[in-house]
Amino acid sequence: RASSSQISLVEGRVSLFQACSPQGLAIAAWAYASSGTEAPQLYAALSSSAVVRLHHFQPQGLANLVWGLATAGHEEPALFAAVAAEAKGRLHGFQGQGLANTAWAFAKAGCADEALFEALAAEVPRRLDELSSQELANMGWAFATSGVSAPELFAALGDTALPRLASFKPQEVANLVWAFATAGVAHPLLIEAAAREAVRRMPEFSQQGLANLAWAYASVAHEDAGFVAALGCESGPRLHTFNSQELANTAWAFAVADVRSDECFGPGARFAEMCDRVEWNDKQLNQLHQWSLWRAETGCEWPPLPPQLERRSRAAFASAQVHPSRMQRHVCYALGSLGLPSQEEVRIPEGYSIDVATEWGGVRVGIEVDGPSHFRTDRRPTGSTVLKRRQLRHFGWTLLSVPYWEWEALRDEDRFIQRQMQCAYLAEALDEATGTRTTASGDGWVAIDCTSLLDEATAELEDLPSFQGVAPSGTATARLEPPELDPPP
């Protein structure tokens, strides 16, 4: 690390960057960041000198420049945007390491340019053999962090990493499975092989690595009780070294997996004690509350959370913001057509919010309207979805899940035919969920109320910026008429 006097000397000579070649600027960025130099003015001057000459940089120079700035924590949006514009058409000239470092730098700096990442997603799969184990893990981390969808890249990344897992360092294994879990991309062979590799080398993982493994495997709802038990045996004696994020992720992961671990949570463990010593954010409090619900669900007599923390976690969970989807609203309209009253976002005593609640055959039913975020790319539910469903059923709810692809399959250009299909779908699904057989089953007929079609069409118009629910005086209004139907034979 450079001394304060060295930093002052450099900052006093920032004008010299104007005379540096592009290669010199790239080397300077890499060198100062590698040495741990903390000098915001230096990096700002370096960025200003580089941004006007980017077209003269070699591909390796561009990669070193952004890597250095990201490593130093100097987020310069204008520079990163300019590098993205310059680099995306020249990726074929980057070495494999340069591709990985560029992706990592943009994700680390929070400047994930979508066009650049789409270009990387097209270029990287055919170059993966050039990447080291660290670079493969970093590439996955970068794409998962960026939020740019790249299922083909992840598939190729998993295929490349799979036969090389034994050469990965423990942190690289943890980062790789974290990336697949965060991106929601399924690669069962990689996930299973990484679990076996992790069990074999469990003592080599850091506490962050253990917590990331736990979170990742829970997030993909991987069912392997032996792997989870091994995680518990290794994590339990080390909980006193975990920070709040690691404690929350570990607790939540065991709740999802539904695997008991006395090593982590039993009377002799230090989980509850450690929870009272750290600070928590709202997301972590939510995870802790789900762990408390799991404790109640299992009936284990483990030490509970400290009373004040338990109250805080419950309050945070019960006040978490919800965002009803358009699809959820349409499910409610279809229930209305069946003559079923419904309530949206029903908050239950345990703190969960149920998307839609209704009654069918005398049974109170919770309907979960599950969009793409509730599933991985193979359409298996995520760990969060699995945990919510299991705990709601434990607390007495009859549940019906409406997956987005099944609902989308009911689309039709004719709004009335579409509503018929939606109502028939819901009636059959409600029968199955409640174990009942209503008059809606078996004869092919579903009686529906057409007036809800009018409500739905009106609501859709109200979503348009130009629509006025009540027309000003002197203006004309459009009248929506229900469709004319032929009488049944």
- DSSP string covering 294-310: HHHHHT--PPPPPHHHH
Q: Which of 13-22, 431-440, 467-476 has the lowest mean pLDDT?
A: 467-476
What b/e readout covers 413-433, taking b as 16+ CB neighbours within 10 angstroms?
Answer: eeeeebbbbbbbbbbebbbeb
> What is the reported pLDDT for 116?
95
Residue 51 confidence (pLDDT): 80
Tokens of 134: 């660290």
CA 135/CA 121 separation, integer angstroms: 15
Q: Which residues pair with 387 in a beta bridge?
A: none
Which DSSP letter does residue 193 get? H
Q: How far is 272 from 239, CA to CA, in rounded Å? A: 10
| pLDDT value for 97 | 95
In the block, tokens 């959370």 appear at: 305
Give the count of alpha carbons within 13 A of 50, CB side only: 32
Specify the pLDDT at position 475. 32
CB atoms within 10 A of CB 92: 11
> Could you read off the pLDDT of 476-485 as tens digits, one per residue?
333 333 334 4
- Give me the percent of the chain exceeding a pLDDT of 70: 85
Give the per-residue pLDDT at 474: 37
20 SS3 class: coil
Average pLDDT over residues 292-306: 93
Q: How many helices (H) and strands (E) does the chain have?
A: 23, 4
Spatial CA neighbour of 392 closest among 414, 370, 361, 377: 370
> How many residues in the chain?
489
> pTM here?
0.84
Mean pLDDT of the chain: 86
> In this predicted model, which residue has the larger pLDDT, 234 or 470?
234
Confidence of residue 34 (pLDDT cuts 50, 70, 90): confident
**Residue 31 or 170, more confident:** 170
Question: Residue 189: how many CB atoms within 10 A of its CB?
Answer: 10
Match 């010299």 to its residue by tokens. 16
Using only C-alpha atoms, the chain has a radius of gyration, in whole angstroms, of: 28
CA 37 – CA 353 distance, rounded (Å):
48
Confidence of residue 163 (pLDDT cuts 50, 70, 90): very high
Helices 225-235 and 244-257, packing angle to 10 deg: 150
Question: pLDDT of 219-275, one tens digit each?
Answer: 999 999 999 999 999 999 999 999 999 999 999 999 999 999 999 999 888 899 899
Residue 155 pLDDT greater than 70, yes or no = yes
Structure token pair of residue 290:
């789900």
pLDDT of residue 8: 54
Q: Which residue has the higher pLDDT, 342 or 444?
A: 342
357 beta partners: 343, 366
pLDDT at 463 over 70: no
| CA 203 to the chain's CA centroid | 28
φ/ψ (deg, to 5) at 384:
-60, -40
Of the chain, the percentage scoring pLDDT greater than 90 comes to: 71
Beta carbons within 8 Å of 239's beta carbon, 6+ residues apart = 247, 250, 264, 269, 270, 271, 274
More reliable by pLDDT, 9 or 304:
304
* Mean of pLDDT values over 423-429: 95
pLDDT at residue 487 above 70?
no
